[in-house]
Copies of this chain bind each other. A is one copy, B any other.
Amino acid sequence: MKIVMAVIKPFKLDEVRDALGSIGVQGLTVTEVRGYGRQKGHTEVYRGTEYAVSLLPKIKLEVACPADQVGKVVETIAAAAKTGQIGDGKIFVTALDHAIRIRTGESDAAAL
């Protein structure tokens, strides 16, 4: 099993979630984060003073899925989140040792 973690632009969330739903992904967890990367931040102004705010609002998605679905999940996110402009974000894939569904106690693949 793997955890696919993606950092995307906030307004792409709905599209990505729908795309994942359509390939059968049943669950995901969403966090509001701020990101720093090639896309430079913005400037906030306060009474004539500028504050460089280098952190931009982003959305982090975490999807746990069986190893054989990872490719599809990654492709789906990449396709749905893409605008082609800087700051589109990244997808990171890491290993997942165990998964447990709290309600039933089911584990691993059955828990996803």
Task: Point out residues on A near B: beta carbons under 8 Å.
Answer: 2-3, 6-8, 17, 26-38, 54-55, 58, 60, 64, 74, 77-78, 81-103, 105, 111-112
Contact = CB atoms under 8 A, between A and B. Distances in A.
B78 A105 contact: yes
When all copies of this chain in the complex are counted, the total is: 3
B95 A95 contact: yes
Contact of A91 (B38, B60, B84, B102): B102
22 contacts: A3-B92, A3-B94, A7-B29, A26-B37, A27-B38, A28-B37, A29-B33, A29-B60, A30-B34, A30-B55, A31-B32, A77-B102, A78-B102, A82-B103, A85-B103, A90-B99, A90-B102, A92-B96, A92-B98, A92-B100, A93-B97, A94-B96
